[in-house]
Each structure stands twice: as structure tokens, then as C-alpha cells.
Amino acid sequence: MAHDTPDLAEILRSVHEFIRGVMPRLSGMDRYQALCSQNLVEIALRELDEWRPLETADDERLRRLCEVGEEVPRETLAARLAARIAAGDFDGRMDELQNELLAHTIAKVRVSRPAHLAPEHRHN
Amino acid sequence: MSSKTAVADDIDVIIDRLREAVRRRFGATADIDNIDVATVGGINRTVLFDHVDGASRRRLVLRQETYTTEFSPFLPPAKQWPLLEVCVRHGVPVPAPIFALDEVDQLGRGYVVAFVAGETLPKKLLTDAAFAPARALFPSQAAEALARLHAIAPAEVTLLDDVPDSIDALGAQREAYEIYGQPHPVLEYAFRYLEQSQPTAAPKVFIHGDFRTGNMLVDPNLGLTALLDWECSRLSAPEDELGWFCSRCWRFGVMDKEAGGFCTRAEFIAAYESAGGRKIDLDALRWWEIFAHLRWALYNIMQFWGHMNGRRAPAFALFGRNTAYIEYDLMMAITGRYH
């Protein structure tokens, strides 16, 4: 079922525009918190626009590393992998894991702060 | 799950109580004016004021802890205070301690120090033309301040002996990570990597613990005037201090000057050693730089944990999502892509 308009992206853009509008009248801590709020809304917009394909690829990566299939809920994958690393399951092949974990962080940073990535990691 | 105290944030109440606190120490004719609430940081409030008495006037700073939890990794103000006195005795540039708050003050935990002029904003320090003279002076001044600090006998700061970070730096991070209860594969990897490549243990020294661009006062012409923010102080390796300062977390866009955006890592090490600092082990320094990313990621998780446990603000929510880019830098450093 589709909701009435505005859709989620339009809701977020409306909030973002409002924050931008009041920004010139703010100073000190209020201005700082408003900038952070703007940043949070931008993260939400990118998550909405770009996360789906990144998430699919990242789930596939984490399932492979955890050696589990679709039966395991995606929300538990990061915790499972963390537990495997802590248990020493990857000792002796830590190097292999490096690029997988780098790819895992790239997926997250594409949403949270894409401008922070090195140029070669900004686009597929 | 957490017991936390928030200090009164009605600024008029704080000012009245501060005036009383000053009168209790300096007499009934003392007063305060010219009050400026500088910042409310993650865990501290800074209030600048003049202590006036007849014709005399001096600028002071109240540093007040605004948020306390049982899981705080930070030194309580009562432990920071004696460290400032030790630093003054040894010529390490810090704001001179004036008095510590007590219960009668009803201002929570904190202390009052002398005002020191200077700028903290990293962008200004690193790029503003007015600070060019300070940038030229800074590396040797900072290196000398650290060399002096690290030369202080640990016996003078025994109050740091039981700080978890002094006992086992990596173990202390693990303890914090477990408390926040947010599993991160990359941080587990960092723990494992660091456990398996620990540098040889060397005698520990008194370190500032959060020595980085932004935590020091710099005058445009005089350069470094004071080291601030002593709540992370501990006993550790000199490479811990230099590794934190040189890690990618603190370059503020000036990436080719690894030492806080001021100069190269090699230049800073040379300045530190020639100021009398211990010889820096480059492998240990790299280990501590990786450790710095882990520590910084955990601080960010902690701030978000605070957001979920009563101290809510957009900035603290954002900290939760900052963790990803720190993990990215951490993996780029471990894989040798970043230096």
C-alpha cells in the first residue's frame, strides 16, 4: 500500500529545508546541533536512495564470512562475524579478511559520509 | 542500567553558585562579572568569568563536568586537578589551578583555573594566515612540552596507577566495548590484530592521553600556550601519546602533515627526541596509531551510548554513524593504504 504524499524522501527534504532556513539565525550550540541535525537528515536521505543495493552486497559478504545462509536474519550477521573474529576463527588468515572488512566499511561510509572515502572508493 | 547525574543547566543558577563559591574562598567582597559560557562539550561546560575584588581583576575559567555515568572512561575532575599542579611544578604549560569544586558549591564536579589566551579551533590553527607564526613555532614547543611531561617521575602521579588504561590499554578498550554492547566486526578485527602484534613492553611514562590538535591553546604569535583536557591522562608509552597525535583522526584535512596537521611525523619525532624525549620506536608508533583509531571509534560509540541513555542531542546521535568512517580509516591503515 502506498501512503499519501509526501513520501519519506519528501518528508526528509522538508525537514532539511527548514533547518537550512533557520540556520542563519542560530549561533553557538544551537547552530552546532542544527548542523548535526542537517547531517543526520542527509544520512537518512542517502540511506533511502542508495542503501538497498549496498545492503544486499554487504549481506552476501557477511553471510559468506559467517558461513550461513538466508535462514539467519540479516540484523544478526555483523554480531555473528564479530563473535567469530573474537573466537579466533580467522587467525592464520587475518590478511584474507582485511579486504572484506574494508569493503564492509566502504558500504557503510557511502551512506554515512561518502566525501570521506578515498576517490577510488566513492563509486562502484 | 546506568546511574547518571546531570548538573543543573540553568545558567543563572550556575552563576549565582559560582559567585558564592568564589566568595567562600576569597572573601565576602569578591564578585564575578564579564561572564561568558564558552562551550558545552561532550562532558564539560566551560564558563569564563572575571574574579573582581576592589580594583583587582583576573580572568578565570570554570570547568564543570556536565554528565557522569558509572561507565565513564574519563578521569574525574578530582584526579585531573592534582595533575595540573604537578604540571605547573615541572614547567609543562597548563592553565594554573585556582580551586577545586566541593559539595558545598553545588556545582557538581569540576574546578576553576586561570584563563589562558589562545585559540583551540583546529581549522583556524592550521589554515588561518594570522596563525602562520604559531604554526612555525608549534612543533618544537609541543615536542618540548611532551618531553617535559614524559620526564616526570610516575611516582609523582601515583593516582594514575589504578586507571584501567594505565594498567592495560587494550584491555581497557575491550572493557568499554563490551559495556556499549554494539558488536562491530572491524573493531573485533582491530582488537585481534593489536593483540597479536603488541610492541615490547617498555617503562611507562605520564602522558596527557588526549594530546591532539583542538585540545591545546595556541596564540597567533606566541604559539602553544597551554595543554587542555586532562581527563584521559594515564601511564603509557610515549608512542601512545605521539601515535594519537599523528593518527589520521586529528589532521583536520591537512593529511600530508601527520603530526596534527602541523608538521610531518618525522619532523615531530625529531623535535621530540631532540627536546629530550625518549627514542621513538617506529613499529610501536604504528601500533599505537592503529590503536588510536580503535580508541576514537570507541569514544564515538560511547557518545552514542550516552545519547541512548538519557543525554540526547543530534550531535550525540551523529557520533553513532561516525564510527563507520573511523573503521574505514582503520582498515585503510591496517592494509597499508594510509600512513
Nearest CA in chain B to A107: B324
Residue B302 is placed in which grid cell?
560511547
HSE-CB of A34 using CA atoms within 13 angstroms: 17
In terms of residue numbers, what domain contains A66? 8-121
Domains (range + CATH), chain B:
4-114 (3.30.200), 122-334 (3.90.1200.10)
> A40 and B183 in contact by Cβ < 8 A?
no
| Displacement of CA B215 from its chain's centroid (Å) | 6
A/B interface, count of CB pairs below 8 Å: 91
Which amino acid is present at B275? Answer: A
pLDDT in tens, B102-140: 999 999 999 999 999 999 999 999 999 999 999 999 999
Nearest CA in chain A to B336: A98
A70 domain residue, yes or no? yes
**Does the structure show a pLDDT above 90 at B317?**
yes
Element (H, E) at B247: none
Q: What are phi and psi of B295, to 5 degrees?
A: -60, -45
From A108's Cα to the closest Cα of chain B, the distance in A is 6
Contact B223, B134 (CB under 8 A): yes
Cα–Cα nearest to B109, from B81, B137, B149, B136: B81
HSE-CB of A93 using CA atoms within 13 angstroms: 7
Residue labelled with grid coordinates 542531542: B313
| Buried-state track B209-241, b at ≥16 Cβ within 10 A, e below 16 | bbbbbebbbbbbeebbbbbbbbbbbbbbbbbbb
Of A37, A79, A106, the CB nearest to B328: A106
- CB contact B193 to A (< 8 Å): yes
pLDDT of residue B38: 77
> A86 and B192 in contact by Cβ < 8 A?
yes
A2 domain residue, yes or no? no
> B183 and A83 in contact by Cβ < 8 A?
yes
Task: State whether the Cα torsion A99-A105-A108-A109 is positive or negative.
Answer: negative
**Does the structure show a pLDDT above 90 at B9?**
no
Per-residue confidence at B72, pLDDT binned at 50, 70, 90?
Answer: confident
pLDDT in tens, A42-98: 999 999 999 999 999 999 999 999 999 999 999 999 999 999 999 999 999 898 899
Round to whole Å and give the CA distance between B191 and A106.
20
Q: A112, A117, A121: best mutation site toward chain B, by most B Cβ within 10 Å?
A: A112
Contact B255, B248 (CB under 8 A): yes
Q: In this prediction, what percent of chain A has a pLDDT beyond 70? A: 98
Query: Average pLDDT, stretch A24-30?
Result: 91
Chain A residues in contact with B331 (beta carbon < 8 A): 98, 101-102, 105
A112 domain residue, yes or no? yes
> B317 and A29 in contact by Cβ < 8 A?
no
Round to whole Å and give the CA distance between B287 and B333.
10
Of B39, B318, B335, the CB nearest to A102: B335
Chain B residues in contact with A97 (beta carbon < 8 A): 189
pLDDT of residue B4: 46
pLDDT of residue B1: 36
CB atoms within 10 A of CB A87: 11
Which amino acid is present at A100? Answer: E
A80 domain residue, yes or no? yes
Q: How many domains does chain A have?
A: 1
From A16's Cα to the closest Cα of chain B, the distance in A is 14
A1 domain residue, yes or no? no
pLDDT of residue A100: 96
pLDDT of residue B113: 97
pLDDT in tens, B14-69: 999 999 999 999 999 999 999 998 765 667 889 999 999 999 999 999 999 877 77
pLDDT in tens, B136-180: 999 999 999 999 999 999 999 999 999 999 999 999 999 999 999
Residues of A with CB under 8 A from a CB of B: 29, 32-34, 36-37, 39-40, 43, 62, 78-79, 81-83, 85-86, 88, 90-91, 94, 97-99, 101-102, 104-106, 108-109, 112-113, 116-118
The torsion defined by the Cα of B191, B194, B198 and B203, in degrees rounded to 10, comes to -70
Length of chain B, in residues: 339
Cα–Cα nearest to B327, from A93, A123, A108, A63: A108
Residue B146 is placed in which grid cell?
611532551
Chain B residues in contact with A29 (beta carbon < 8 A): 39-40
User: Which range (A2-16, A85-99, B70-84, B310-324) has the least confidence?
Assistant: B70-84
Cα–Cα nearest to B236, from B164, B174, B141: B164
Chain A residues in contact with B314 (beta carbon < 8 A): 33-34, 36-37, 40
Chain B residues in contact with A45 (beta carbon < 8 A): none
> A117 and B335 in contact by Cβ < 8 A?
no
A3 domain residue, yes or no? no
pLDDT in tens, B230-270: 999 999 999 999 999 999 999 999 999 999 999 999 999 99
Query: Average pLDDT, stretch B211-239?
Result: 97
Residue A75 is placed in which grid cell?
540484523
Q: For B34-110, where are the alpha helices, taking DSSP H only?
A: 77-89
In the stretch 284-323 of chain B, residues with CB closer than 8 A to chain A read: 313-315, 317-318, 321-322
User: Which range (A108-112, B136-140, B335-339) has the least confidence?
Assistant: B335-339
Q: What are phi and psi of A29, to 5 degrees?
A: -65, -35
Cα–Cα nearest to B138, from B261, B31, B29: B261
Residue A54 is placed in which grid cell?
549496498
From B192's Cα to the closest Cα of chain A, the distance in A is 7
Round to whole Å and give the CA distance between A76 and A73.
6
Length of chain A, in residues: 124
pLDDT of residue B140: 98
**Does the structure show a pLDDT above 90 at A123?**
no
ipTM of the complex: 0.95
pTM of the complete model: 0.93
